[in-house]
Amino acid sequence: MAIKYSYIIAIIIVVIVAIAGIAYYLTTLPPTTPTPTKPAIKEVVIGLVEPLTGKHAVFGLEAKQAAELAIKHINELGGIKSLGGAKLKLVTEDSGESPETGKLAAERLISKEHPVIILGAYISRITAGVAEVTEREKVILVMDALVDKLTEQGWKYVFRAAPKASQHGASAIEFIMDMAKKKGVEVKTVVVMNEDSIFGAYVAHGAIMKAKEYGLTILDHIEYPYDIADATPLVSRLIDLKPDVVVSVPYFHDAILIAKTVKELGFKPMFIAGAGGCGYTDPDSIKAAGAAVEYYTNTYSYNPARPTDWNKKFVNDFKAAFGKIPTEAGGIAYYSMWVIKEALEKAGEMFPEDPLNPDNLREAFLALDLTDENSPAAQTYPTGHIKFAPNGDNLYAGTAIIQVINGEPHVVWPDPEPGIEPVFPRPEWSGASALEISMNAISSIQAIESRLYN
């Protein structure tokens, strides 16, 4: 019996010694540091650099309005879900009117606000200056400027959903030739004229190349200073050349000046088609030029008449807030902001540990494939499809054409608004018969009245 108790006591002593040894060992270990948890992203700063003052402010201000509306819509839907519902915060800078002021604006914005993505700057020469800064600082730039060259520099951190400038010029010619075929008239000659910026040159080049494909005779290619003060010499040259059609690549002030001078001097070609996404047919131009811009067209990077749910919401909310429909600048800014949202969502899914790293963001942009079925960005884009090539251009870029009919802008091509018939040729064209002029104008007005009162 004594031997049994001794055995039990020995086991107890061994257990006590073992426990003491373990306790001592644990006290000698270095203190452990808790693994830090990655802080939640509550807010993502997005920069906007646009011409908010000066001659191009009409575009920059509309872009700002549309970007703010997009941010509102995105945040109301819960922000960036893959980032835990992070909200977007928009910070803005005025780009001014030159590449130098654009650079300074981008530098101020980056140093002060630290945006991970910047949208801007509409005017191509200014955007080139902004891109030099964003590329150096490794900040993604989503461009709303159209010059082809902007995506031909080998820049790594640039993306553009909007169609290239040359595509706008080509679309203007395609529209003219399509309408001429449908209306049974023959187009043989064309004059292409543009303001002398790099933007104007690229749009004009697209028009010239497409005109040659159709076998048209190019009577002249006229360039003029974008800040032109007198359009009389330009229009006088057109009167002398007597082209069937004119493709004009303006901005805002020059478009109004040209249209008024055409009316004053009585120049009456078969058609005058604007190209390049701004100038003759936006609400501000119609307000400024009045009847002078009647029947003018313009190519646009945005289609306000697309019958998708999100496009209708955008147009209705924009009109309610600002009293006009969004056109080129507003449309690009709105769908570009939604592209940014989708890229941030994709980055959160693909790179949850470091979603805002610029290289990870770049990969997220390249992984996007946005359609009407899966994205508001696509629903507000002319073709309904956005997917980026390695250089940052949209593989499915496309344009729409808007015409001023009875003082209102209407989408007329490639898919006209319901009840709207393009007016082609211009009713005052001397080659049109009186019956053609009357029937063309009456049918267009009746279509508009039908939409208004039915």
261 and 193 share one domain: yes
Asked, for residue 2, whether it belongs to a domain, the answer is: no
The predicted structure's pLDDT at residue 6: 56
In the predicted structure, residue 155 carries a pLDDT above the cut 50: yes
310 and 360 share one domain: yes
452: confidence class by pLDDT, cuts 50, 70, 90: very low
Please give the share of the chain, as a percent, with pLDDT higher than 90.
80
Domain with 140 in it: 43-163+306-386
* Domains contained in the chain, number: 2
286 and 433 share one domain: yes
Asked, for residue 25, whether it belongs to a domain, the answer is: no
Starting at the edge strand that comes first in sequence, how are the strands of the sheet with 43-50 ordered?
87-94, 43-50, 117-120, 140-143, 158-159
In the predicted structure, residue 13 carries a pLDDT above the cut 50: yes
In the predicted structure, residue 38 carries a pLDDT above the cut 90: no
Asked, for residue 80, whether it belongs to a domain, the answer is: yes
280 and 314 share one domain: no
Integer Cα distance of 454 and 450 in angstroms = 6
115 and 180 share one domain: no
In the predicted structure, residue 385 carries a pLDDT above the cut 60: yes
> Which of 386, 409, 433 is where one domain is finished?
386
The predicted structure's pLDDT at residue 302: 95
pLDDT tens for 225-265 read 988 999 999 999 999 999 999 999 998 899 999 999 999 99
Integer Cα distance of 39 and 25 in angstroms = 34
Question: In which residue are the tokens 């040894």 written?
Answer: 21
pTM over 0.85: no
207 and 287 share one domain: yes
CATH of the domain at 132: 3.40.50.2300
| Average pLDDT for the chain | 89
The predicted structure's pLDDT at residue 389: 98
Residues with Cβ within 8 Å of residue 400, at least 6 apart in sequence: 299, 300, 302, 303, 305, 382, 411, 413, 414, 415
61 and 123 share one domain: yes
285 and 327 share one domain: no
40: confidence class by pLDDT, cuts 50, 70, 90: confident
280 and 414 share one domain: yes
295 and 311 share one domain: no
Asked, for residue 438, whether it belongs to a domain, the answer is: yes
Alpha helices in 214-351 (DSSP H): 232-241, 253-265, 283-289, 309-322, 328-350
Give φ, ψ of 222 to 5 degrees: -105, 130
374 and 413 share one domain: no
3-state secondary structure of 191: strand
The predicted structure's pLDDT at residue 4: 52
